[in-house]
């Protein structure tokens, strides 16, 4: 067990002083691996900041270079496994245990290392769950974080991407841990102080700016007609009847399509001021037209989005902008807001089974969950009411409480052709091979209120038995083995009872479900809608061609 005594901390800091110098918190970049070898001991629990977007990449590279003969058996606790270096520590024998939330970019490699017994996973967490455990039983001994700037005293400025930094730093700093911050530059005066210097032990100026990914940017040119159709059904079957005003969107082309048809399709239905007013959401570029059309009152952010900085700063009436003129985000608080302050979560998945359970952990990919289970769960501690919450509860037959709307929006087949609807989740087999006590289900079926495909909408709130839920799911599963096991007569009965709704049941002519509804059809048009304030990242800076 790691020694958390004051004397142990003093000894570690003394070793670090021999590397960095006793009179300063600043550590030269070329001594970073030496610094980590001085403050990290075998068996330590290490938190390294790897958010959805910004990465402590220089510190990750330095950690991966540690000598496994000196530092080994580390227990890594981190939100996101995003970089090759995040897994290199396991390949080199520096670390062997992992608790995490999301591993999108490294999901296949992680699955290989788990199968090879090079990584022992404690749990695949939700973000909020992992942060909570950092404060309780997964407290880091050393925390490696990242910020835009530091002053000479060690105060940190995170800029618009505050994200996880305060949570990780506080978890370590107030339990005798050691906090190291990678920063882009050292300045005399910060625009604002996001992390006070007495939480920070060492600051490392990185040779180059930290890596940040425009994870939430979706090019409107890639939105297809079927995405538009699903978006129209979502507005007609969920947003409008429930009068949803407070919500969170997941990442994807279907939800991007919803954002882009708010100023057109939703406006035509007279929904401005009645739906989609309050978002818990990163600053999605595809939200710009809806903001400019006056649909959106405010957006609270998990993090920022590369290229959106000037636009966000210009709309302090919508986004949480500080006196310094920049966004202040907070992933932990946004997760809380998404769970308790929102009436709707709408996102996607890789697989859905006959009970409505969904997962992004499949046989050859351990993707993890991120925040979906927090926001895609019915918060049973909630006590305030809204019309949307009350109506959902009434439809579900709840006598004493409302229900959160949890929508899974997925095409019947994944881009690679694999069916999205399956009789049995791969997560069950993964649990057996990885030694999990339970299969890693992302959103449990009893929390899901609606499933939307290009075929139609299944309103699971109106189902009164497991068999009825299964039949509703098969009705919208389309031309898949799962869907073909349903008789047309059974589907017709569900449609008559309003449990299943096809586009025609919602008054939607499928022939009109085209890209013409999009308020912006390309990245260039998003730039124009922003008043030229949106500056797309390099990979999006091109004249886009509409998808076929």
- 522 domain residue, yes or no: no
Which runs of consecutive H residues, i.e. helices, occur in 279-425?
288-292, 309-314, 331-340, 372-375, 387-395
Q: Are residues 126 and 196 in the same domain?
A: yes
- 536 domain residue, yes or no: no
pLDDT at 544 over 60: no
Q: Are residues 422 and 284 in the same domain?
A: yes
Q: Are residues 61 and 189 in the same domain?
A: yes
Q: Are residues 347 and 381 in the same domain?
A: yes
Note the pLDDT of residue 389. 98
Q: Report the chain's mean pLDDT, rounded to a whole number.
A: 94
Q: Are residues 434 and 499 in the same domain?
A: yes
What CATH number corresponds to the domain at position 169?
A: 3.40.1080.10
User: Which among 288, 262, 443, 260 is positioned nearest to 350, based on CA atoms?
Assistant: 443
DSSP category for residue 213: -
- 530 domain residue, yes or no: no
pLDDT at 307 over 80: yes
pLDDT at 465 over 60: yes
- Token reading at 527: 């730039």
Last residue of a domain, one of 495, 511, 527: 511
Q: Are residues 124 and 167 in the same domain?
A: yes
Q: Are residues 137 and 97 in the same domain?
A: yes
Q: Are residues 206 and 307 in the same domain?
A: no
Q: Are residues 184 and 318 in the same domain?
A: no
pLDDT at 299 over 60: yes
3-26 mean pLDDT: 87
By percentage, how much of the chain surpasses pLDDT 70? Answer: 98
Which residues touch 181 (CB under 8 Å, ≥6 apart)? 145, 146, 147, 150, 154, 156, 169, 195, 200, 202, 203, 204
Structural domain for 345, as ranges: 220-511
Cα separation, 295 vs 287, whole angstroms: 10
pLDDT at 431 over 90: no
Q: Are residues 165 and 271 in the same domain?
A: no
- 523 domain residue, yes or no: no
Cα separation, 177 vs 287, whole angstroms: 40
- 526 domain residue, yes or no: no
Cα separation, 35 vs 45, whole angstroms: 16
- Token reading at 250: 């997941």
- 200 domain residue, yes or no: yes
261-287 mean pLDDT: 97
Helix (H) or strand (E) holding 154: none
Cα separation, 185 vs 138, whole angstroms: 31
- 263 domain residue, yes or no: yes
Count of the separate structural domains present in the chain = 2
pLDDT at 545 over 70: no
State phi, psi for 108 to the nearest 5 degrees: -70, -45
CB neighbour burial string for 379-405, b if at least 16 within 10 angstroms, e if fewer: beebeeebebbbbbbebbeeeeebbbb
pLDDT at 83 over 70: yes
Note the pLDDT of residue 1. 60
302-307 mean pLDDT: 95
> Global pTM?
0.94
Number of H helices, E strands in the chain: 21, 22
Residue-wise pLDDT for 229-270, tens only, equals 999 999 999 999 999 999 999 889 999 999 999 999 999 999
Cα separation, 76 vs 98, whole angstroms: 5
- 521 domain residue, yes or no: no
Bridge partners (DSSP) of residue 344 are 247, 405
Q: Are residues 357 and 444 in the same domain?
A: yes
Cα separation, 179 vs 201, whole angstroms: 5
340-361 mean pLDDT: 94
Note the pLDDT of residue 365. 78
Cα separation, 152 vs 323, whole angstroms: 22
Residue-wise pLDDT for 369-395, tens only, equals 888 998 999 999 999 999 999 999 999
Note the pLDDT of residue 360. 85
CA 154 to chain centre: 29
Which residues touch 61 (CB under 8 Å, ≥6 apart)? 85
Q: Are residues 188 and 234 in the same domain?
A: no
406-426 mean pLDDT: 95
Q: Per-residue DSSP letters for 292-331? A: HTT---EEE-SS--TT-HHHHHHTTTTS-B-TTSSB---H
């Amino acid at each position: 067990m790691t020694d958390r005594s004051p004397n142990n901390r003093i000894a570690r800091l003394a070793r670090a002083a021999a590397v960095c110098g006793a009179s300063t918190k600043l550590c030269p970049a070329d001594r970073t691996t030496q610094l980590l070898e001085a403050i990290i001991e075998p068996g330590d629990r290490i938190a390294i900041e790897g958010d959805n977007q910004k990465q402590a990449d220089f510190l990750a590279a330095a950690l991966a270079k540690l000598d496994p003969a000196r530092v080994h058996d580390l227990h890594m606790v981190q939100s996101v496994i995003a970089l090759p270096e995040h897994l290199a520590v396991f390949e080199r024998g520096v670390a062997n245990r992992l608790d995490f939330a999301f591993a999108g970019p490294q999901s296949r490699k992680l699955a290989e290392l788990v199968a090879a017994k090079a990584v022992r996973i404690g749990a695949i967490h939700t973000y909020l769950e992992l942060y909570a455990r950092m404060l309780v039983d997964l407290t880091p001994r050393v925390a490696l974080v990242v910020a835009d700037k530091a002053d000479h005293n060690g105060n940190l400025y995170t800029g618009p991407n505050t994200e996880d930094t305060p949570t990780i730093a506080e978890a370590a700093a107030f339990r005798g841990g050691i906090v190291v911050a990678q920063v882009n530059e050292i300045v005399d005066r910060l625009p604002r102080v996001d992390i006070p210097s007495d939480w920070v032990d060492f600051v490392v100026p990185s040779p180059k700016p930290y890596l940040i990914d425009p994870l939430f940017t979706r090019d409107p040119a890639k939105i297809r007609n079927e995405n538009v159709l699903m978006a129209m059904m979502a507005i007609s079957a969920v947003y409008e009847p429930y009068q949803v005003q407070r919500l969170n969107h997941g990442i994807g082309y279907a939800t991007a399509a919803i954002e882009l048809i708010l100023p057109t399709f939703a406006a035509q239905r007279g929904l401005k001021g009645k739906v989609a007013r309050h978002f818990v959401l990163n600053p999605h570029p595809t939200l710009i037209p809806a903001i400019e059309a006056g649909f959106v009152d405010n957006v609270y952010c998990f993090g920022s989005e590369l290229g959106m900085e000037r636009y966000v700063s210009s709309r302090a009436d919508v986004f949480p902008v500080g006196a310094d003129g920049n966004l202040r985000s907070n992933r932990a608080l946004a997760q809380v807001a998404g769970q308790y302050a929102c009436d709707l979560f709408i996102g996607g998945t890789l697989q859905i089974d006959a009970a409505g359970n969904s997962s992004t952990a499949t046989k050859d990919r351990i993707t993890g969950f991120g925040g979906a289970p927090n926001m895609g769960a019915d918060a049973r501690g909630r006590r305030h009411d809204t019309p949307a919450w009350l109506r959902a509860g009434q439809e579900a037959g709840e006598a004493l409480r409302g229900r959160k709307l949890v929508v899974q929006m997925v095409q019947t087949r994944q881009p690679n052709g694999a069916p999205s609807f399956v009789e049995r989740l791969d997560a069950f087999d993964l649990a057996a091979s990885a030694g999990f006590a339970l299969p890693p289900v992302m959103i449990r079926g009893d929390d899901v209120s609606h499933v939307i495909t290009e075929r139609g909408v299944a309103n699971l709130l109106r189902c009164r038995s497991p068999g009825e839920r299964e039949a509703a799911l098969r009705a919208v599963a389309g031309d898949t083995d799962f869907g073909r096991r349903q008789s047309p007569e059974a589907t017709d009965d569900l449609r008559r009872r309003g449990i299943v709704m096809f586009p025609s049941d919602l008054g939607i002519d499928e022939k009109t479900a085209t890209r013409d509804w999009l308020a912006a059809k390309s990245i260039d048009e998003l730039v124009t809608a922003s008043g030229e304030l949106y500056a797309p990242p390099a990979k999006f800076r091109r004249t886009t061609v509409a998808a076929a």
